[in-house]
Amino acid sequence: MPGSAYKLKNVLFVDDDPDFLTGLELIFTAKAAGRWSIATATSHAQALERLGHVSMDLVVVDIGMPVMDGLQFLKLLRLTNPGQQTAVLTGMGGWDHRKTASENGVALFLEKPINAAGYETLFSALDTLINNAPQTGFQGMMRRVGLQEVLQIECLNRKDSILEVFTSGARGRIYICQGMIVHAECGDISGDVALFGLLGLHGGQFNFLVYQEPARRTITGDYEYLLLEAARLKDEGAILLNSGMIRNALQSLPITTITPTGGSMAADATEMLLCSGSGEVLHARNCDTERRISLITSVAQQADQISSILPSGRFDRLEVLSGEGRVVFLLQPHIRLMVRSQPVAPSIHASKPVASPHLTAQPRPANPQNELAIRAVLANHPRLPGLIAWGIRMPDRHIISQPLDGATDAPQIERTLARALLASDSLHQHQLTPIRLQWRFEKLSVCLAARRDQHALCLILQRQEDAFLNLPESLLASFDSLNLQP
């Protein structure tokens, strides 16, 4: 390893409590394992004397000291030792103190630990600070330290605060209440997906804001699990991006449910956008990035609304067969991908117009014979593995629903079908004219076929092995090819 990795780091702790300093020196000397040279001072005068003899990589200052308190000493230090890296370690962690410390160039504001785990986290944060180059990481009230460490410190100290994170392409907030992460938001995204997206950013700035209760709490669970999961997802995302696996996979991305019978699709994507979970553009091809980011956000919101109706689990992807080709939206906590490809051969739908928006169309009388014809298709088709419900929307806006296993009820089916149609209609605003759609969640899949004559069929299926996912196609194709009467 390079020699710089072994360079001895000089750290000065300034605190008027000699017993605290003695204990801190013993603990951190053991943890540093020869990598730190620790000096202590019980007053600003002693600290200045130490600094006059040895160049310090970091000066850690307490606030509540007699004669000259820590904040006053920081102001003095900026004059006598400009550029000196500093941190605050105090039992006086009020917002005003944090703000004043930040204005005086403090890189890290920490509260004194109360247990062994606290000392472990404190050492990790300080060690990260003095070993990182000044230009890397996040900058803010705790500059040049990873967001993971900042959140861990806030949670460990059972704080109430809002961590505002921002880069040139993303802005979000993480809400911490009594040491628990209770909510995160980034643009129109909220919950753990927003949290993981923010923690996946590679650099930027952040500020602490005074805590205010969010409109709703979207995150539950132990903060340690959340931070571990965020780290895992970030590592996996970095591996995928660095190895080029995502870009290489774009040309063979599976779209299993909506492939039209008799048609084939081009391997090359004609339009592509790859973003981080928080909306930073990582790769784009032949697309209006601003409009497509808006589209991806809309897809995520519509999926959230469907998942609020059904016990579906986390959203994975939306697959669309449209008049413009096949489109896939892959939405993971750290990766958001849109790919559109054109058919090589003419689609079975090319000879007839694609569906127009359903919910904005004027209702018209439904032909009873059409309902019988659709029911006959459903009754005569072999039972699909995992099919738990279906719903039909007639041109007069009447919805016919059929639960099949007790896992769903008629109101859920009707609401899901209406929400799926709303999502389908919203794609028209983004110059896409959908014919068939499938939302794939962790536990369920929702399929929708929408006809130009205002008939629509919705299937709700339990997630099975991927090999099964093309089975609804024959049923959707049968529905789509029905010769229904006006």
Query: What is the reported pLDDT for 116?
Result: 78
Residue 172 pairs in a beta bridge with 165, 186
Query: What is the reported pLDDT for 12?
Result: 96
Q: Which of 337-341, 343-347, 427-431 has the lowest mean pLDDT?
A: 343-347
418 pLDDT higher than 80? yes
Q: For 62-75, what is the mean pLDDT?
A: 87
Q: For 294-320, what is the mean pLDDT?
A: 88
Residues 244-271: tens digit of each pLDDT? 444 443 443 444 433 433 333 334 467 8
At residue 202 the predicted structure's pLDDT band, cuts being 50, 70 and 90, is low
Query: What is the reported pLDDT for 343?
Result: 54
Does the model's pTM come out above 0.85?
no
Contact assessment for residue 166 and residue 203, using Cβ atoms and an 8 Å cutoff: no
Residue 139 pairs in a beta bridge with 205
Domain 254-481, CATH among 1.10.620.20, 1.10.490.10, 3.30.450.30, 3.30.413.10: 3.30.450.30
Residues 465-486: tens digit of each pLDDT? 443 345 577 777 778 777 877 7
345 pLDDT higher than 70? no
Mean pLDDT (the chain) is 77
Query: What is the reported pLDDT for 342?
Result: 67
| Domain 1-145 listed as CATH 3.40.50.2300 | yes
Q: For 211-240, what is the mean pLDDT?
A: 76
Residues 270-280: tens digit of each pLDDT? 788 887 776 77
- Residue percentage of the chain with pLDDT more than 90: 14
Helix (H) or strand (E) holding 390: strand 387-393
- Cα distances from 402 to residues 411, 412, 413, in angstroms, run 10, 10, 8
Query: What is the reported pLDDT for 432?
Result: 83
15 pLDDT higher than 90? yes
- Cα distances from 75 to residues 53, 80, 377, in angstroms, run 20, 9, 80
3-state SS, residue 362: coil
354 pLDDT higher than 50? no
Query: What is the reported pLDDT for 464?
Result: 58
At residue 350 the predicted structure's pLDDT band, cuts being 50, 70 and 90, is very low
Q: For 373-392, what is the mean pLDDT?
A: 84
Contact assessment for residue 79 and residue 44, using Cβ atoms and an 8 Å cutoff: no
Query: What is the reported pLDDT for 58?
Result: 93
- The beta-strand segments (E) located in 55-156 are 58-61, 86-90, 108-111, 138-140
Query: What is the reported pLDDT for 466?
Result: 45
Q: For 437-460, what is the mean pLDDT?
A: 87
Most confident among 25-39, 143-157, 187-201, 422-436 (mean pLDDT)? 25-39
Contact assessment for residue 375 and residue 382, using Cβ atoms and an 8 Å cutoff: no
Residue 281 pairs in a beta bridge with 275
Q: For 458-463, what is the mean pLDDT?
A: 86
100 pLDDT higher than 50? yes
Q: Which of 168-172, 218-222, 420-424, 434-438 has the lowest mean pLDDT?
A: 168-172
Question: Which of 445 and 380 is assigned the larger pLDDT?
Answer: 445
Q: Tokens standing for 314?
A: 């986390």
Q: For 342-366, what is the mean pLDDT?
A: 52
Residue 447 pairs in a beta bridge with 438, 459
307 pLDDT higher than 60? yes
168 pLDDT higher than 70? no
Query: What is the reported pLDDT for 29?
Result: 92
At residue 360 the predicted structure's pLDDT band, cuts being 50, 70 and 90, is low
Helix (H) or strand (E) holding 127: helix 116-131
Residues in the chain: 486
Question: Which of 174 and 427 is assigned the larger pLDDT?
Answer: 174
Question: Which of 385 and 58 is assigned the larger pLDDT?
Answer: 58
Query: What is the reported pLDDT for 136?
Result: 44
408 pLDDT higher than 50? yes
The strand order across the sheet containing 9-14 reads 36-41, 9-14, 58-61, 86-90, 108-111
194 pLDDT higher than 90? no
172 pLDDT higher than 80? yes
Query: What is the reported pLDDT for 290?
Result: 86
At residue 236 the predicted structure's pLDDT band, cuts being 50, 70 and 90, is low
At residue 364 the predicted structure's pLDDT band, cuts being 50, 70 and 90, is confident
410 pLDDT higher than 60? yes
Q: For 83-88, what is the mean pLDDT?
A: 88
Burial label, 372 (beta-carbon count in 10 A; 0-12, 13-18, 19+): exposed
Query: What is the reported pLDDT for 267?
Result: 41
Q: Tokens standing for 357?
A: 């928006």
Contact assessment for residue 331 and residue 300, using Cβ atoms and an 8 Å cutoff: yes
| Per-domain boundaries in the chain | 1-145, 160-243, 254-481
